[in-house]
Copies of this chain bind each other. A is one copy, B any other.
């Protein structure tokens, strides 16, 4: 049995290693057009910044390692030109010698990855315009940064890579401007979550431009500039294009392998393509959502690794299958972590769910232990009560909470289940009730206890529509006096019980405080006293203020 794998980064090498662990009989060959294999693609931005000092930290393994450890033959600088299925052969070119040869296979694994999208923009071929995709491209940027000493950079695109680059270039002393076509940075997030990130980037000295795009890059190094659609011109000694990646599917398509609706290679749960004996995995491959069951394209190192292992198991006659993903992502920018799993509100609505949404602002541990606030936006399905997704921004403990959500969602958790989790509590690690538990409690209070929430956007719409509502600011007088919502009346929560008669039980009422807890307490009192319709402002004035500033 001869296994040939095209591509030797995350998915390809995982497939090879797993196949070898299962079988000593198979002959296993990897071809990769690149000179580096098995590197940490997700570490690349940190190699441009000072965090990763040496290339060998990023690329710890070479062909020799795979031969010794796994008896796998890795041919780097070998480009596969064509896949034939009858007979099962590949046409391969040695990029060093130029030689072209034919290689047979019994099982073929396509792990060709993805490449940076290169938009057709005038000047994108200038020597100071870069793309980050592999180690060689990172080497180039690193060299340019260290030797060219650029003072200004424009990053086009604000996904993971764009923002990680923004951090790393800023740390190198370069002034960074991020240009994003969408209405907000990190378009995979909901806008009302992205706003927290956007504000933070600005605090860190990064110029953020949204709703705009690059139309032209011009000038020489000494006087290089980027011209935007809006007409705005930016000085840019360095430009990084990070507008996304697209799957490398040319080889597969030419071989007649079916592509999915996302444009990536379509596979079943065994990672088999439409042609017998040919498998695909990693960033060239379509996966699917565990929640909706529908195909999606999520080029992530973790997913590539997982898919590769499944392929390695399958091609050696075993039974691992892909179970679907949640599209979980996380990244750090300076001291802030931003994480997301499952469906955003936007996605959930697009999928036709009737959604319940909450914003939960809580410290990761007690304030007396240095706790820092995080904002959790969670989305639940009104019909089933199930959690559909979560987005979290904060400076500490974000990765823990998103992973608890991931695990809960994977097992179909309902909002009401989260409170019951016996999560680990001690003051250095968490609050007595963890922020995840609070999130479940808030959602469950909406779902089953009539404690309705209103989002800043919904409240603004209500006010704008001219609907008559009474807005109760339940904070202490000092906070109200400092700043409050237009039209709001201040009744500190501790006085609400004595002020009941001064309010109208029949009128739609909105309560709020700083973050939502006291507003909920006020809401409880009013509902328990027979007020007909009471909404608590989710995330409180703090969240409202963020959203309003936009």
Contacts and interface: CB of A to CB of B under 8 A. Distances in A.
Interface of A: 10, 20-25, 40, 42-43, 46, 51-52, 57-58, 68-71, 160, 290, 300-303, 305-306, 309, 320, 323, 325-332, 337, 339, 341, 366-369, 399-400, 402-404, 406-408, 410-413, 417, 419-430, 432-434, 493-494, 497, 520-521, 524-525, 528-529
A21 B302 contact: no
18 contacts: A21-B520, A40-B427, A42-B432, A46-B369, A69-B521, A71-B497, A300-B425, A302-B432, A305-B432, A329-B426, A337-B429, A339-B424, A399-B400, A403-B421, A403-B423, A404-B404, A406-B422, A410-B421
A521 B65 CA distance: 14
Given A320-B419, A337-B429, 13 more contacts: A20-B524, A21-B524, A43-B369, A301-B425, A303-B422, A305-B432, A326-B422, A329-B424, A329-B426, A399-B400, A399-B424, A402-B424, A403-B403
Contacts of A331: 426
Contact of A306 (B57, B320, B402, B420): B420
A368 B433 contact: no
Nearest to A70: B521
A182 to B, nearest CB: 21
A19 to B, nearest CB: 11
A330 B429 CA distance: 8
A368 B422 contact: no
B369 A328 contact: no
A124 B397 CA distance: 42
Contact of A332 (B69, B305, B413, B429): B429
Contact of A422 (B10, B309, B328, B400): B328
Given A432-B301, A494-B68, A368 B403 contact: no
Contact of A43 (B303, B368, B400): B368
Contacts of A368: 40, 43, 51-52, 57-58
B68 A330 contact: no
Contact of A407 (B10, B369, B421, B425): B421
Contacts of A71: 497
Contact of A494 (B22, B69, B337): B69
Contacts of A494: 68-69
A285 to B, nearest CB: 15
Contacts of A417: 410
Contacts of A330: 424-426, 429
A429 B305 contact: no
B302 A422 contact: yes
A341 B426 CA distance: 14
B411 A408 contact: yes
A491 to B, nearest CB: 13
A424 B40 contact: no
**Most B CB within 10 A of own CB, among A57, A407, A408:** A407
A141 to B, nearest CB: 17
A24 B525 contact: yes
User: Which 3 pairs from chain A and chain B are nearest by CB?
Assistant: A411-B411, A302-B425, A68-B494
Nearest to A298: B422
A421 B433 contact: no
A521 B426 CA distance: 38
A497 B431 CA distance: 53
A423 B339 CA distance: 11
A319 to B, nearest CB: 9
**Most B CB within 10 A of own CB, among A160, A332, A408, A411:** A411
Contacts of A46: 369, 427
A480 B111 CA distance: 37
**Most B CB within 10 A of own CB, among A325, A399, A404, A528:** A399
A497 B69 CA distance: 10
Contacts of A320: 419
B51 A369 contact: yes
A332 B413 CA distance: 30
A6 to B, nearest CB: 20
Contacts of A341: 422, 424
Contacts of A410: 417, 420-422
Nearest to A71: B497
B403 A302 contact: no
Given A43-B368, A69-B493, A427-B43, A421 B406 contact: yes
Contact of A427 (B42, B323, B339): B42
B302 A423 contact: yes
Nearest to A340: B424
A419 B528 CA distance: 47
Contacts of A337: 428-429
A226 B290 CA distance: 61
B424 A406 contact: yes
A291 to B, nearest CB: 11
A524 B21 CA distance: 6
B423 A406 contact: yes
A433 B302 contact: yes
